[in-house]
Structure 1
Amino acid sequence: MDQKQYDVTGMSCEHCAASIREEVSEVPGVSEAVVDLAAKSVTVYGTDLDDERLRAAIVEAGYGIADSIAA
């Protein structure tokens, strides 16, 4: 299983976290999206994760990406 983590800018409440979780979960290959509101990050688990599509999903939800770490 692959894992990617993104530091999200502009996320400030549980509604923000839910929006990000929903958008990211729709990307093909994603099995789980874990949003950490306190850390302002999202960790995505799945297979054949497409970094560009995941970044686009976060932006589509209305947020920015400060940094990304592929693990």
Structure 2
Amino acid sequence: MGLFSRTPSVQFSVANMNCGHCEAKITERVQSMPGVSRVKADSSSKKLEIWYADAAPTAAQVNEALADTDYRVQDC
């Protein structure tokens, strides 16, 4: 069992995430959020998974981190 399999995570959907560039930009912004330990953005499923140390980030907090981009998350 790996480290991330024991770390809690939360998923969001990102409707306009379409390519690897989108994934990289979203990952960079979300990874910089306090308490986030890992991020996986997947443009094929349009899902964003965030592993966290303490409290789960909310959609509003993630959208704040993405404020100067064209991306917005929604609860799955």
TM-score scaled by structure 2? 0.75
Q: What amino acid does structure 2 have at the position aligned with 1:50?
A: P
Picking from 18, 24, 28, the partner of 1:22 is: 28
More strand by share: 1
Q: What CA distance in whole angstroms lies between the structure 2 residues aligned with 1:5 and 1:58?
A: 15
- Alignment of 1:31 with 2:37, yes or no, is yes
**Segment of structure 1 superposing worse, 8-17 or 43-52:** 43-52
Residue pairs, 1:1-71, within 5 angstroms: 1-47=7-53, 48-51=55-58, 52-65=60-73, 67-69=74-76
Partners of 1:23 and 1:60 within 8 A in 2: no
Which protein, 1 or 2, shows the higher relative CO under an 8 Å CA cutoff with sep ≥ 6? 1
RMSD: 1.6
Given that 1:28 and 1:49 are in contact with CA atoms closer than 8 Å, whether structure 2 keeps it comes out as no
The count of corresponding residues between Structure 1 and Structure 2 is: 68
Percentage identity across aligned positions?
A: 26
Gaps of 5+ in 2: 1-6
Query: How far did residue 59 of structure 1 move?
Result: 4.0
Larger Cα Rg: Structure 1 or Structure 2? 2
